[in-house]
A and B are shown apart, each in its own frame.
Chain A
Amino acid sequence: MRVLVIDPDPARAALVAEGLRGVDPLEVRKAATYDETEVAAFAPDVVVVASDSPDRDTLDSLREISPSSQRAVVMFVDRSEPGLAEQAVRAGVAAYIVDGLSPARVRPILDVAMSRFALIQQLRGDLAKAKADLESRKTVERAKGLLMKERGLDEDGAYRLLRKLAMDRGKPIGSVAADLLAFAGVLKGDAS
């Protein structure tokens, strides 16, 4: 079986392709965009496409029977499993079957794609959070430094003052620190 993964996100495409090697497919190929000539040469049995790929519509249009289409293309929707189609849509994956492959053979491919998409989303979410945490820690350090210099506090005293400001305002300490730095900037004439 030949599987083509079309995904504008190279990291995600690689992860899906890697995951599919564990399933039964014989050959897996990935592409950032749909290229008619390449697709015709590879002749996939299944195409997995990311919902955020604009090429999704080109694939969807192949479901239309036209004089030039030689192979029947259908969107894979396993109706025996309620909720599966919804799960795939929400995960951001669609699968198209060329020439009537059985659902039993396509299902594991869709499962792998969905799980890899979820994994990437989680990893990216974690990374964004880690970056935000780091950013907030840096901001707090800088705000502490400012308070130590301007108010003659020691490090512990500066931190306690920031924490009190945060509690009084009901805001995260990172955001209070950012406000403090912004105001200090204005007072120094940075934001003219």
Chain B
Amino acid sequence: MSGLADLTLGFIPLTDCAPLVVAKSLGLFAQEGLEVSLSREASWATIRDKVTVGALDGAHMLAPMALASGLASDGSGAPMLAPLALNLNGSAITVSLGLAAAMRALDPEGMAAEIITARPLARLVEQRKEHGAPPLIFAVVFPHSMHNYALRYWLAQAGVDPDRDVRLVVTPPPRMVDHLQSGGIDGFCVGAPWNAVAMSEGVGEMLIKASTFWPGGPDKVFGLTQAWAERHPGELRAALRALLRAAAWCDEPGNHAELVALLSRPEHVGAEPEVVARALRQEIVFHRGAAGLPRREHALWFLSQMVRWAQVADDLDLAAVADRVYRPDLFREAALSLGPILGPAQAFEDGAASVPAALFDGVSFDPGDARGYAAGFAISRARA
């Protein structure tokens, strides 16, 4: 079709790629004047590299990856922008049935609590140390990911040092369940639908969902290079409008059956419809409450965790990175231009009002003092 800009956008087969799949399949990109090809990728590192060199124009991206890309400590990747949050919530921590049973034997109350902390695990780790057993192994999907920071936070909150008391490894999402079953790993933190897959196959027990860990906590973004955004402001705006409309569509309960069918297809997520449906029903928010707004406090929380786990240089200006990468202004401009389609547009105008981060342990986060927050934890690698 003539007159349309051709874009290639990358995604990883996870439930939260939904806005991209929907914008493409329902013709929303085309309505905004874009001819979009979706490219299914096998790894986050490849997403980062392809976006960096321009083999992809933009992509479904781990929010912390967009923040870390282009930093000296990352050493690869171009400076990125995150003008849209693709979803809130969605991941969870799951352990093998054997590990869950061992935790329950030591701390039945802790395992029956409304919010399961890592206290039962801390007791088990102590016991294993006394017996000279090897450290338990937990998997995440990427070092710069909500999954890594959530798992580390959850472990450390109960006194389990994620670097010393257990071993953390990176495992691709589609292999998590197999590795859990084979005993190669004892637990993981991964996005939908893999926790639901582990449960439906009877190999894992989900302990805490992202929506409990941090209700409305951040996860994936739509990421692209700063250079691309500068060269193609019109296309970026059109893409954001299509993705926003898609996100609103995804949240509509009446569309869930169709969404599940779309996502389940082998060229998209390729998982059983029932497991895709479970995470959508219980967890992921795409649009409600200005979910798409890339919030500065989310960026700063991620950066605080990079400081906490010594992933970034000591002198990095966190606020400057947050403001360079997270671009609520681009989001707001696109959202307001859609007007009543998404109503109430007002929600996006006040969307900048910060929402206090409410993590499960009740420790408050002051975005103005991300370094102090990082250094304030009992277990922290931050050099205060």
Whether A55 and B172, one on each chain, are in contact in the complex, defined by CB atoms closer than 8 angstroms, is yes
The residues of A that contact B163 with a CB separation of less than 8 Å are: 66-68
Q: A57-B142, A58-B170, A61-B170 are in contact. Are A85 and B53 (CB under 8 A)?
A: yes
Whether A57 and B170, one on each chain, are in contact in the complex, defined by CB atoms closer than 8 angstroms, is yes
Q: A53-B42, A60-B45 are in contact. Are A90 and B172 (CB under 8 A)?
A: no
A29 to chain B, nearest CB (A): 21
Check A47 for interface membership: any CB of B closer than 8 A. no
Distance of A86 Cα from B43 Cα, bound (Å): 17
Whether A74 and B53, one on each chain, are in contact in the complex, defined by CB atoms closer than 8 angstroms, is no
A117 to chain B, nearest CB (A): 14
Q: A61-B170, A66-B163, A67-B164 are in contact. Are A56 and B46 (CB under 8 A)?
A: yes
Render B41-64 as a binary contact track against A, CB cut-off 8 A, 1 for contact.
111111001101111000000000
Task: Tell me whether chain A's interface is mostly helix, strand or loop, or mixed.
Answer: mixed
Whether B43 and A56, one on each chain, are in contact in the complex, defined by CB atoms closer than 8 angstroms, is yes
Q: Which chain B residue shows the least CB distance to A67?
A: B163
Q: Indicate the size class of the contact surface on chain A.
A: 20 to 34
The residues of A that contact B43 with a CB separation of less than 8 Å are: 51, 53-57, 60
The residues of A that contact B167 with a CB separation of less than 8 Å are: 68
Whether A58 and B169, one on each chain, are in contact in the complex, defined by CB atoms closer than 8 angstroms, is yes
Whether B170 and A89, one on each chain, are in contact in the complex, defined by CB atoms closer than 8 angstroms, is no
Q: A53-B43, A57-B141 are in contact. Are A89 and B172 (CB under 8 A)?
A: no
Check B266 for interface membership: any CB of A closer than 8 A. no
Check A75 for interface membership: any CB of B closer than 8 A. yes
B38 to chain A, nearest CB (A): 15
Check B372 for interface membership: any CB of A closer than 8 A. no
Render A41-81 as a binary contact track against B, CB cut-off 8 A, 1 for contact.
00000000001111111111101101110000011010000
B 280-333 contacts with A by CB, 8 A: 311
Whether B142 and A61, one on each chain, are in contact in the complex, defined by CB atoms closer than 8 angstroms, is yes
- Which residue in A54, A63, A74, A89 is a CB contact (below 8 Å) of B174? A54
Distance of A90 Cα from B50 Cα, bound (Å): 7
Check A177 for interface membership: any CB of B closer than 8 A. no
Q: Which chain B residue shows the least CB distance to A85?
A: B53
Distance of A154 Cα from B161 Cα, bound (Å): 83
Q: Which chain A residue shows the least CB distance to B56?
A: A89
Q: Which chain A residue shows the least CB distance to B175?
A: A54
The residues of B that contact A59 with a CB separation of less than 8 Å are: 45
Q: A54-B175, A57-B141 are in contact. Are A86 and B45 (CB under 8 A)?
A: no
Check B171 for interface membership: any CB of A closer than 8 A. yes
Check B37 for interface membership: any CB of A closer than 8 A. no
Distance of A86 Cα from B142 Cα, bound (Å): 22
Known A58-B170, A68-B163, A77-B76; 14 more pairs at CB < 8 Å: A51-B49, A51-B50, A52-B46, A57-B44, A57-B45, A57-B142, A58-B171, A60-B170, A61-B169, A64-B143, A66-B168, A75-B75, A86-B54, A89-B55
By a beta-carbon cutoff of 8 Å, the part of chain A in contact with chain B is 36, 51-61, 63-64, 66-68, 74-75, 77, 85-86, 89-90, 94
By a beta-carbon cutoff of 8 Å, the part of chain B in contact with chain A is 41-46, 49-50, 52-55, 75-76, 141-143, 163-164, 167-175, 311
A–B pairs, 22, beta carbons within 8 Å: A51-B41, A51-B42, A52-B42, A54-B172, A54-B175, A55-B43, A56-B43, A57-B45, A58-B169, A58-B171, A58-B172, A60-B142, A61-B142, A61-B170, A63-B75, A67-B164, A68-B163, A85-B49, A86-B54, A86-B55, A89-B55, A90-B53
